[in-house]
Amino acid sequence: MQLVWIIVCLFAGGACAGIAGRISADASRWLSLATLVVAGLLGLSLLQPSLQDPSVLIAGSDAPQGQWLHLVQAIWIPHFGIQFLLAADGISVVLILLTLFLGFIALLSAWKEIQQRVGFFYFNLLWTLAGVVGIFAALDLFLFFVFWEVMLIPMFLIISIWGHEDRHYAAMKFFIYTQASSLLLLAAMLALVFIHWQQTDSLSFSWFDLLGLDLDPGLGMVLMLGFFIAFLVKLPGVPVHNWLPDAHTQAPTPGSVILAGILLKTGAYGLLRFIIPLFPDAAAQFTPVALTLGVISILYAAKLAFAQNDIKRLIAYTSISHMGFVLIGIFSWNAIALQGAIMQMVGHGLSSAGLFALAGALQHRLHTRALDAMGGLWSSLPRLAAVAMFFAIAALGLPGLGNFVGEFLVLLGTFQVHATTAVVSALAMVVAPIYALVLLQKGFFGPPSAALAGKVDTVADFGSRELLMMGAMMLGLVILGLFPRLVTVYLQPALAGLQQLGWGG
**pLDDT for position 3:** 94
- Nearest Cα neighbor of 209 from 91, 81, 333 is 81
**322, 348 Cβ separation under 8 angstroms:** yes
**pLDDT for position 57:** 44
Instruction: State whether the Cα torsion 246-249-252-258 is positive or negative.
Output: positive
**pLDDT for position 331:** 95
Beta-carbon-side half-sphere exposure of residue 173 (alpha carbons within 13 Å): 17
- Nearest Cα neighbor of 226 from 287, 270, 160 is 270
**Interatomic CA distance for residues 130 and 404, integer angstroms:** 30
Entry field: residues in the chain? 505
**247, 170 Cβ separation under 8 angstroms:** yes
**448, 370 Cβ separation under 8 angstroms:** no
DSSP 209-267: HHTT----HHHHHHHHHHHHHHHHHHTT-TTS-THHHHHHHHS-HHHHHHIIIIIHHHH
What is the number of H-type helices and E-type strands within the chain?
A: 22, 2
pLDDT, mean of each 10-residue run, the chain (505 residues) = 94 95 92 96 88 50 62 91 92 96 95 90 96 96 96 94 92 94 95 94 92 90 96 93 92 93 94 93 94 94 89 92 94 93 95 93 87 83 91 89 93 94 89 84 79 72 90 95 92 87 66
**Interatomic CA distance for residues 280 and 502, integer angstroms:** 5
**308, 314 Cβ separation under 8 angstroms:** yes
**pLDDT for position 105:** 95
**352, 403 Cβ separation under 8 angstroms:** no
**pLDDT for position 297:** 94
**Interatomic CA distance for residues 346 and 487, integer angstroms:** 9
* Omega prior to 78 cis, within 30 of 0: no
Cα 307 from chain centroid (whole Å)? 25
DSSP 79-111: GGTEEEEEEEEHHHHHHHHHHHHHHHHHHHHHH
Burial of 378 from C-beta contacts in 10 A (0-12 / 13-18 / 19+): middle
**pLDDT for position 169:** 94
**Interatomic CA distance for residues 253 and 238, integer angstroms:** 25
**Amino acid in the structure at residue 334:** N
What residue spans define the domains of the chain?
287-505
**pLDDT for position 60:** 47
**Interatomic CA distance for residues 452 and 377, integer angstroms:** 10
